Amino acid sequence: MKAALLYQLNTPLRIEEVPELEIGPGDLLVRTATCGICRTDLHIQEGLAYVPALPHIGGHVPAGVVVRCGSESGQKALVIGSGSIGVLLVQILKEAGIKVLATDQSETSCEVARKAGADFAMRAGDPNCIAEIQRFSGGGVDCVRSGRAHGRVIIEFKSAHVINPFSA
């Protein structure tokens, strides 16, 4: 597949062929059909945002389809952050048949996550959020993924019976 790679700050992106990613037994592989480069990517390129490990594949708003599932995909996932990337993750996870819980600081974003298919969505700042996640999920989730992450969209599944997604 082709990707826009950044090898050094303040240099042009290079479009190159990159190998297909290997996935583990609990991952989903999304084949990206298209992905835009946005202002955040340009800030990274210019050294005005965080500095990722280089080379860095630009673009964090992909559109694609799930092409492969690991053999032990979880049954319940928590998506932290219900912005555009988080909602995309909700849709991908629902397509894979996974029960999806979502959180965000904004109630409006939680409602968007529900409309996108989340089985449960709650404001992260609510003092009962963790208890409600544990109650709704039956004790915890199998996967936690931040919708605000940059880079490739691989959903990492963890064996997590009881979790606190907001602890460091």
pLDDT in tens, 41-92: 899 999 998 888 999 988 776 777 667 766 665 688 888 888 888 898 899 8
- CATH number, residue 14: 3.40.50.20
What is the predicted pLDDT for the residue at 130? 84
H runs (alpha helix) in 12-165: 39-45, 84-95, 107-115, 129-137
Number of domains forming the structure of the chain:
1
- The answer to whether residue 161 sits within a structural domain is no
Rounded CA-CA distance 21/30 in Å is 10
- The answer to whether residue 167 sits within a structural domain is no
- The answer to whether residue 160 sits within a structural domain is no
- The answer to whether residue 162 sits within a structural domain is no
pLDDT tens digits for range 22-42: 777 666 677 777 788 888 889
H runs (alpha helix) in 7-121: 39-45, 84-95, 107-115
